A and B are shown apart, each in its own frame.
Chain A
Amino acid sequence: DVQLLDSGGGLVQPGGSLRLSCAVSGITFRNYAMSWVRQAPGKGLEWVSGISGSGDNTYYADSVKGRFIISRDNSRNTVYLQMNSLRAEDTAVYYCAKAYGGFGVLGRDYGVDVWGQGTTVTVSS
């Protein structure tokens, strides 16, 4: 079975940094694009960032561009989200998400078929 294990969430002060990790098992990891999706308390889903299977292409929502960095280590089957200059509005459950289909690209794809369990980030003083 495919499994995604999110970790790294916690309480951080405004302006601080945090790095999320998502360990993936059960697939040929390099064949799949990955994304991070977040959900603020009581709110809807927000796509945050995505990365191609090779790691050569990265994408960001306007709300996090310039502050967050997505990366992956295909030797460790892990995707990361480095979050800098955190704001109160970044408070959310962050889900790691696997793209459906082993095309290795984002865009013209078929959505997310496997999700992590979510890791909670709270930005507060």
Chain B
Amino acid sequence: DIQMTQSPSSLSASLGDRVTITCRASQSIAHYLSWYQQRPGKAPKLLIYSASTLESGVPSRFSASGSGTDFTLTISSLQPEDFATFYCQQTYSPLQTFGQGTNLEIK
């Protein structure tokens, strides 16, 4: 199975900061990488698919890049509603695996 490793596992930042989360796959997954945001008690929300395509309705301060094994999610200027947990997911394989998550907290 393909393993996904996210870093950091937690991150403290201030409003207006630029933050980057990374995700590494244990083998090449081409561009089949999605990013999700999850707020406490809620279902995840799709932010990015196909490694870099912004889902409709997602603010443009979110961006992502990468291919093969290394991927990044960047939030350009943190807003109050951005503090949540973020997950990457590989969809290259039918057995689809998530990263362990990055908890983004307010500093």
Q: A interface vs B, CB < 8 Å?
A: 35, 37, 44-47, 50, 57, 59-62, 95, 100, 105-113, 115-118
Interface majority SS on B: helix, strand, loop or mixed?
A: loop
Interface majority SS on A: helix, strand, loop or mixed?
A: loop
Q: How many A-B residue pairs have CB under 8 A?
A: 75
Report the Cα distance A105→B101, complex, angstroms. 26
Question: Is B5 in the interface zone, CB < 8 Å from A?
Answer: no
Q: A45-B38, A45-B87, A47-B97 are in contact. Are A112 and B92 (CB under 8 A)?
A: no
| A-B CB proximity, top 4 nearest | A111-B34, A115-B43, A107-B94, A106-B94
Chain B residues near A108 (CB, 8 Å)? 32, 91-92
Report the Cα distance A105→B96, complex, angstroms. 12
A50–B94 touching, CB < 8 Å: yes
List 19 interface pairs A-B (beta carbons < 8 Å), by A numbering: A45-B36, A45-B44, A45-B98, A46-B98, A47-B95, A50-B96, A57-B94, A61-B1, A107-B91, A107-B94, A110-B49, A110-B91, A111-B36, A111-B46, A111-B91, A112-B34, A112-B44, A112-B46, A115-B43
Which residue in chain A gives the minimum CB-CB distance to B56?
Answer: A113
